[in-house]
Amino acid sequence: MTAIASVKGRRVWDSRGHPTVEVEVTLETGAVGRAIAPAGASRGTREAIDLRDGGTALRGKGVARALASVTDTIAPALVGRDVTDQAGADATILGLDTSPLKETLGGNATVATSLAILHAAAADARQPLWRHVANHYGTTPSLPLPEIQIFGGGAHAGRRVDIQDFMIMVPGATTFDEVMEVTNEVYFAAGDIMARRGKLAGVADEGGWWPSFDSNEEALETLVEAISLAGETPGDRVIISLDIAASEFGKQGRYRLALEDREMDSGQLVDMLGGWLKSYPIASIEDPVGEDDPEGMAEFTRRHGADVQIIGDDYLVTNARLVEEAAAAGACNAVLIKVNQAGTVTESVQTFEAAAKAGFGAVVSARSGETEDVSISHLSTGLGGGQLKVGSFTRSERMAKWNECLRFQDDLGAGAFVGGAPLAATWWGRKNKEDAA
């Protein structure tokens, strides 16, 4: 056993310039682990609460209270404990906050502490975090299949388009490095097309182009064009992935697409998205309906679950019980894993395990407010078999996470890339099998 000697909080700043919580865990051996809490903008109502100070200073986003949770409550309970007992440390943290959404301590305080403990244990074992994760949880590491944003929308781009993420995946690539190369070509091809047409308004929160399109479908058409301009056949090596983030524009089964001045009910939204799935090479879609629309999610999954990956983000909030319930109800077939939605490493890994048990895919994900912290690259690689979503292909808080995976590639070998396996059960997987036969 190696005991935790100190747990210290520090205010640092995220990619949107807002304050956030960093925690540093030092062990009796001198090993140090550090992690920073990210922050969402399109948050699920059932995810762990970021504790913020409120008031007018720092736009109400101060983290003095969250830092006080670390110093006054969490640190005294953890000092002296065995750093390798991640589950025990997380259970202790949970015991200090019995509120359902961690509003007493703050999910920002708990997630930074929990991840810092994991980092400290890895440092003490003189191992990279991904290898420590694989050893600790008995998993087989592999380099994840990335989901990379080309256009940002929704809450990440002033709601200029309603749909939040227009992304690509490169399941037909044979190495992680090849994914980066193809993404570079598609990203800049998209920018060129938009600039030429006067549709380029800037760069959105996660580094994707901030578009000034006239309809949500114009984004899809432009993305298909960009894939072609990059020399690819859309739907072949490269597919489209969408995060609809429908909770951002709909409640209680009523949805409003502001860009097109259209109101619709859940059935009409499901029909509209079904039409997109027919017309465009989309193999993955996230939160197609709102977090409060279980009938819509079950209906969408009944219609399209055998063809596309359907990811629950706001819908499942990295909660193992919600994954089990969704599987029983025939809703979704994949889950987004955001460590700060759950609030601790242990709960996130439990959700990852619940997904595997339910036959769900798992996509480890960043938030729209991020930092130089690259823990999720390690988690996704260490747990293995999965996918990684960290935003776009610019801005260092995003690129740091892709670049970190390239370092793992040197250790693990290029053959450790999971490739198209996570999409094997979709139309893309079937088409690929046929092509190979």
- The CB-of-397 to ligand PGA minimum distance in angstroms stands at 12
Return the number of the residue (155 or 423) whose C-beta is nearest ligand PGA: 155
DSSP state of 153: -
Tell me whether residue 42 or residue 266 sits nearer to ligand PGA (CB atom).
Answer: 42
Answer positive or negative: Cα dihedral of 201, 207, 209, 214: negative
Task: Report the C-alpha gap between 258 and 215 in whole angstroms.
Answer: 10
Task: Single out the catalytic residue among 22, 24, 47, 206.
Answer: 206
Rounded CA-CA distance 307/288 in Å is 14
Give me the DSSP letters along 384-418.
-S-EEE---SSSHHHHHHHHHHHHHHHHH-GGGB-
- Contact code string over 388-417 relative to Zn ion, x by CB under 5 A: ------------------------------
Query: Annotated catalytic, 8?
Result: no
> Distance between CA atoms of 369 and 338, rounded to whole angstroms?
12
Beta bridge partners of 309: 284
What's the rounded Cα separation, in Å, for the pair 24 and 28?
13
Judge contact between 334 and 311, C-beta under 8 A.
yes
Minimum CB separation of residue 389 from ligand PGA in Å reads 7
Site for Zn ion in 293-332 (CB under 5 A): 313
Is 90 among the residues that bind Zn ion (CB under 5 A)?
Answer: no
Residue 232: name its binding partner from Zn ion, ligand PGA, none (Cβ under 5 to 8 Å by kind): none
Whichever of 160 and 367 has its CB closer to ligand PGA, that residue is 367
Report in angstroms how near the CB of residue 90 gets to ligand PGA at its nearest: 22
Residue 248 or 404 having the CB closest to ligand PGA: 248
Among residues 338, 370, 397, 401, which one is catalytic? 338
Q: Are strands 250-251 and 254-257 parallel, antiparallel or unpaired?
A: antiparallel
The residue of the chain with the least Cβ separation from Zn ion equals 313
Give CA separation, 98 vs 2, 95, 104, 170, in Å.
28, 6, 8, 42
Among residues 327, 285, 368, 341, the alpha carbon closest in space to that of 44 is found at 341
| Minimal distance, residue 370 CB to ligand PGA, in Å | 8
Q: Is 422 helix (H, G, I), strand (E, B) or coil?
A: helix
Q: Which does 365 bind (CB under 5 to 8 A by kind): Zn ion, ligand PGA, none?
A: ligand PGA
- Residue closer to ligand PGA (CB basis): 286 or 347: 286
Cβ closest to ligand PGA, residue 40 vs residue 211:
40
Binding positions for Zn ion, 16-75, rule CB under 5 A: none
Please state, in angstroms and rounded to a whole number, the distance separating the CA atoms of residues 33 and 17.
24
Distance CA 96, CA 110 (A): 10
In this chain, which of 47, 50, 147, 243 binds Zn ion, going by CB under 5 A? 243
Q: Of Zn ion, ligand PGA, none, which one sits near residue 40, judging by CB under 5 to 8 A according to partner kind?
A: ligand PGA
CB of residue 287 vs ligand PGA: minimum separation in angstroms? 7
The structure tokens listed for 338 are: 């955001």
The site for ligand PGA (CB under 6 A) is made up of 40-43, 155, 164, 243, 245, 313, 365, 367-368
Active site residue 357: no
Q: Minimum distance from CB of 367 to Zn ion (Å)?
A: 10
What are the residue numbers of the active site? 206, 338
Give the footprint of Zn ion on this chain (CB under 5 A). Answer: 243, 245, 286, 313
